[in-house]
Structure 1
């Protein structure tokens, strides 16, 4: 992606974060949407000079937007151990449990961090058509090579 495109995506993310913050000053509690959370991650990464990471975070926000009307399902998703594959990319298994009485799909944002909790990469995995009262599985793989101690956590999970 050209530098201008990344700067544009980061600028849009920063604008979204600023608009979100401006809308929260009336004393009411505002729970950030998945796109706002991803935009915040992009802004944080951009501030640290991580163009590739900011781009990954912006893409994560776009992918989460595909799950419009999704319900918070963070407690229905679990991750396996993080391993580095032959290409040096971090991978983790994702398990999504569907408590609903109909098939559902999940959009899961996986945050890869270092041992100090610093964000290294963001991936969104879609686990589609999980059977009623069943589980679906997938593998989240980082967008780039990571080294050292790498951890994974669920940033956002939506069931739709």
Structure 2
């Protein structure tokens, strides 16, 4: 699934290449402007395709890693209702971070594995990560921070996709 972020970045690459091509064609020479425009469009298409592919590859890798981490949890019970997220913020490196809080309603200490999906304002998936909260005391709440794998821009939201208590 390609995200709107990837398409937006690809559009920016396309606009930049077209602008450079247009500037190169407006020097007063009567060269083959349609050939230059065609080359610029081809270069932009190639750059956009490469960018989209890299974004899709990164998302696929993050999703596979998240599935692997959740599948490794033994005897986990669904605990999505016991997990809350704070408001996502951009870290100094541009990666999204969000506070994850897990309330342990069990009678003994438990750990939690929480899959956090970072999405855009339309719900399109941008990144996926799993955070683990170890040994949360009975009746207590544990906190951790989930961080995206890469820099995310725009209006980033965070949602709990899966939460397991074990």
TM-score (norm 1): 0.69
Q: Does 1:152 align with 2:158?
A: yes
- Taking the aligned partners of 2:64 and 2:105, their CA distance within structure 1 comes to 30
Based on CA coordinates, which of the two structures has the bigger radius of gyration?
A: 2
Matches within 5 A, 1:95-134: 95-134=101-140
Does 1:74 find its partner at 2:80?
yes
Unaligned segments of structure 1, at least 5 residues: 1-47
Q: Which residue of 2 aligns with 1:62?
A: 68
**Greater per-residue helix proportion:** 2
Separation in structure 2 between the aligned mates of residue 51 and residue 68 of structure 1, nearest angstrom: 28
**CA distance, structure 2, for counterparts of residue 152 and residue 51 of structure 1:** 20
Root-mean-square deviation (CA, aligned residues, Å) is 1.0
* 2:90 aligns with one of 84, 104, 110: 84
> Which 4+ stretches in 1 moved above 4 angstroms?
none
Give the match's secondary structure for 1:55: helix
In the alignment, what sits opposite 1:51? 57
> Which residue is 1:30 aligned to?
none
Query: How many angstroms does 1:66 deviate by?
Result: 2.2
Structure 2, unmatched stretches of 5+, are: 1-51
Give the total of aligned pairs.
113
